[in-house]
Amino acid sequence: ENGVFMGEVPLTLSVTVNNQEEKTKKSVIHLAVTTDDYQPVQEFSRKITVRSQESMTYVLPLKISNPGFYRCTLRLETDGVKGEPLTFNIGLEPEKIISPIDAQEDFDAFWKETRSILDSTPMRPSMKLLKEYSTGKRNVYYVEMKSFGNEIMGGYYAVPKEKGKYPVIITYMGYGSNPWMPHTDGEPGFISFVVSVRGQGIYKAGNKYNDKWIVWGIEDKNDYYYRGAFMDLVRAIDFVCSRPEADKDRIAAEGGSQGGAFTMAACALDNRIAVAAPTIPFLSDYPDYFRIVDWPRSDIDAYMREHPQATWEDIYKLLSYFDIKNLAPRIKTPTIMGVGLQDPTCPPHTNFAGYNLITAPKDYRIYQDNGHNTPPEWQEVRMEFFKKHLKLD
């Protein structure tokens, strides 16, 4: 279903060939299958005959057996000429994908110390009403506060004008996203907080990280960009819980790509989020991730060319502290995940590497035709999940 097989036998692929020409077409269908990290699995060819103005469907056998995701390439050869390839991903039993945890012995101690530093850092929040964006049912504010290392972070915070206590949706943004604000008439009955972490979003212009957040401070786990950025996620929750209009027992978190990773990290590092909806999550299962796609490994390759003393052993050891896979077992938050089956940036394998280690109630949706995004229907799916777990039905 939706390009993902859940153990049914035999595994097959249906291919439809249309012949719009005036003569019968004799062709060959070529199918090549590899793992998502390009290891060959299967090659298959079948001769076909399609009469003029007819359409024929052929069932091709698939010889895949291990849970995971696979790359399929179809070509139609006619008169010795191969047509353009059609390449797409399929999946097999993704909930059985095993990505062993590779956390270091001091993993928990590292995050405990990091959190204690944040907790001892005064927040000093400020709020500024943005009147021109507050013409509807919600007031929209620009908020700013101090976080880990006394760095600035903040975002846009929308609050219903009618007095009361409201559930909150915290939205964490993607890698290098430009700032955006919640609409004054959006998400009726909810507070919305769209968070900008250090050096991104609102703070992206002229940021000191040179837009290379993935490698900033990678020499030392104590200085690595995502140590502070992950604490900015928690500080956003601190801010929400300090607000009298926020229902602290009804906080939802969501985000896509880096924002999906942030959503999962926030749930792992703090217990105040009641429900979560990450999509296409980033920053997970680095060793496999870097075998499947080129970026962000290419940024680290560039760093290593400039720092020849760096080794992959050291890089992977450091990244293990910030790997969503290693944080996922801490998540006690009901979670629904959205996945784009054709995602070339945060491939589905890496999404499930973390998801499969969550022990809380969980669900997912895989969207067969989507790449590094989810379709419009996801908005309703995640809102139904929010309302169920926030007891707003």
Complete domains list, the chain, with CATH: 4-96 (2.60.40.10), 107-389 (3.40.50.1820)
255-268: average pLDDT = 99
Mean predicted lDDT score pLDDT of the chain? 97
The confidence band for 319, taking pLDDT boundaries of 50, 70 and 90, is very high
CB 202 within 8 A of CB 155: yes
Percent of the chain with pLDDT over 70: 100
119 in active site: no
- How confident is the model at residue 235, as a pLDDT? 99
- 195, pLDDT greater than 70: yes
**Catalytic hit among 232, 270, 285, 343:** 343
The confidence band for 8, taking pLDDT boundaries of 50, 70 and 90, is confident
Give me the DSSP letters along 166-199: EEEEEEEPPTTPPP----TTSSTT-EEEEEE-TT
372 in active site: yes
**What radius of gyration, in Å, describes the C-alpha atoms of the chain?**
24
**Catalytic hit among 99, 257, 284, 320:** 257
Nearest CA to 364 out of 348, 376, 347 is that of 348
- 239, pLDDT greater than 80: yes
pLDDT in tens, 328-356: 999 999 999 999 999 999 999 999 999 99
Place of tokens 């680095």: 286
Non-local CB neighbours of 200 within 8 Å, separated by 6+ positions: 173, 175, 176, 177, 207, 213, 229
- 1, pLDDT greater than 80: no
- 274, pLDDT greater than 70: yes
pLDDT in tens, 145-165: 999 999 999 999 999 999 999
205-227: average pLDDT = 97
- How confident is the model at residue 2, as a pLDDT? 83
For 346, the 3-state DSSP assignment is: coil
311-319: average pLDDT = 98
pLDDT in tens, 65-88: 999 999 999 999 998 889 999 999
For 268, the 3-state DSSP assignment is: helix
